[in-house]
């Protein structure tokens, strides 16, 4: 899929609505057009620079945006450093890209001090990451403010890699995201990797000493060779085998073929309530076809409006990683 700049009709509708979840703020496209006209281009060039030397930064930034939004809303709280912050939670221990956001923020502070929020930088960087991996482009609504609170304990609310589909649906529903949004946003795993430690339990001792039966037997030797017992638990493995650096639908093809790396991902195919959406993204006969790129853009706009902060419970941080 080649990048194409699309302003989606649904996105227009969403931009005129209050942010979903528990926030009361609103966002709009072009929020910085007068106060910091180069804001988006500065973020884009910074992400591009890091991507050229390390393509893994793209899925890292996309994942960081998810993790930010699912804890107290999209308020940049995951960026705050300190011993008891979200950033130090085990669920966020493998996040990458903090240096990219800090660099973009430093450039923005030089260009227009105290104007652009860290939360908006992260939302823009996530979009730019998708584009750099040959995915769709979309207009990101901005105008978020940064939250003042970041608590390590609250990261426990993030979806986990062993969660059932029912649990995942409930977690997404808390923020106004439906089952289609769930499947679509998890589809972001079309780029990126996972450490062996988050799935190697599926390979040998899942049930009665054997592997997870939902893993295709022909795929099992490959995973075992990458993550042998007593091997390096931090070795990174592609979440979308054969297409980890391109934003496309092959991730869903792999799920259909029993080649999902994470247990929670593979359940998107084994559970009937989510399988239909996977089939729609794959354009299978007998189901209404959905365009993954366009639907991903819609769901990202929807998700990025979770819990937008306003007023005294928010600020525009001068340093995104400011110690809390």
Domain CATH code at residue 262 = 1.10.420.10
Contacts of 247 (CB under 8 A, 6+ apart): 1, 130, 133, 134, 135, 136, 190, 191, 293
Widest Cα–Cα separation across the chain:
63
Q: Are residues 149 and 182 in the same domain?
A: no
Question: What's the pLDDT at 209?
Answer: 80
pTM above 0.85, yes or no: yes
Strand blocks (E) in 179-255: 193-195, 236-238
Hey, what are 256's tokens? Answer: 């259909």
Asked if residue 321 belongs to a domain, the reply is no
pLDDT band at 324 (very low <50, low <70, confident <90, very high): low
Within-domain flag for 100: yes
- For residue 16, the model assigns a pLDDT of 33
Q: Mean pLDDT over residues 48-67, rounded? A: 97
Helix (H) or strand (E) holding 194: strand 193-195
**50 is an active site residue:** no
DSSP per-residue string spanning 27-51: -BTTTTTTT-TTHHHHHHHHHHHHH
**Are both 175 and 113 inside the same structural domain?**
no
Which range of residues forms the domain containing residue 236?
A: 165-302
* Number of domains composing the chain: 2
Taking residues 79-97, report their average pLDDT.
94
92 and 152 together in one domain: yes
Is the domain of 89 the same as that of 42?
Answer: yes
Q: What residues are designated binding site for Ca(2+)?
A: 68, 71, 73, 75, 77, 86, 190, 240, 248
| Structural domain includes residue 56 | yes
Are residues 176 and 250 both part of a single domain? Answer: yes
Whether 177 is covered by a domain: the verdict is: yes
- Candidate list 44, 63, 65, 67, residue with the active-site label: 67
> Does residue 13 lie in a domain region?
no
Same domain, residue pair 271 and 197 = yes
* 121 plus 170 within the same structural domain: no
- In eight-state DSSP terms, residue 131 is H
Query: Annotated binding residues for heme b, as ranges?
Result: 189
Which of helix, strand or coil describes residue 6? strand
Q: Give the CATH number of the domain where residue 98 resides.
A: 1.10.520.10
Sequence ranges of the binding site: 68, 71, 73, 75, 77, 86, 159, 189-190, 240, 248
Tell me the average pLDDT across 118-124: 98
295 and 249 inside one domain: yes
Predicted pLDDT of residue 292: 98
Together in a domain, 169 and 291: yes
Question: Do 178 and 252 share a domain, yes or no?
Answer: yes
């Amino acid at each position: 899929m080649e990048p194409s700049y699309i302003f989606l009709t649904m996105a227009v509708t969403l931009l005129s609505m209050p942010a979903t979840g528990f926030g009361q703020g609103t966002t709009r496209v072009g929020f910085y057009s007068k106060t910091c006209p180069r804001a988006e281009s500065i973020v884009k060039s910074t992400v591009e620079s890091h991507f050229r030397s390390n393509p893994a930064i793209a899925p890292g930034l996309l994942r960081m945006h998810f993790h930010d939004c699912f804890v107290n809303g999209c308020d940049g709280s995951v960026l705050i450093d300190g011993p008891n912050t979200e950033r130090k939670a085990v669920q966020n221990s493998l996040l990458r890209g903090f240096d990219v956001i800090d660099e973009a923020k430093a450039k923005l502070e030089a260009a227009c001090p105290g104007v652009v929020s860290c939360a908006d930088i992260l939302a823009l960087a996530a979009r730019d990451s998708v584009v750099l991996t040959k995915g769709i482009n979309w207009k990101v609504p901005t105008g978020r403010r940064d939250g003042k609170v970041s608590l390590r304990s609250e990261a426990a609310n993030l979806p986990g890699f062993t969660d059932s589909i029912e649990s995942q649906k409930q977690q997404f529903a808390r923020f106004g995201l439906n089952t289609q949004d769930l499947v679509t946003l998890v589809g972001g795993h079309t780029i990126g990797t996972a450490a062996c430690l988050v799935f190697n339990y599926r390979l040998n001792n899942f049930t009665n000493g054997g592997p997870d039966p939902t893993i295709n037997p022909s795929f099992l030797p490959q995973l075992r060779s990458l993550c042998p017992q007593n091997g390096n638990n931090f070795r990174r493995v592609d979440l979308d085998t054969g297409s980890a650096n391109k934003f496309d639908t092959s991730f869903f093809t792999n799920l259909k073929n029993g080649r999902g790396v994470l247990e929670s991902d593979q359940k998107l195919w084994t559970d009937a309530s989510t399988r239909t959406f996977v089939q729609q993204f794959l354009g299978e006969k007998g189901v209404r076809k959905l365009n993954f790129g366009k639907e991903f853009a819609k769901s990202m706009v929807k998700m990025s409006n979770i819990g937008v902060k306003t007023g005294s419970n928010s600020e525009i941080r001068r340093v995104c990683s400011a110690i809390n």
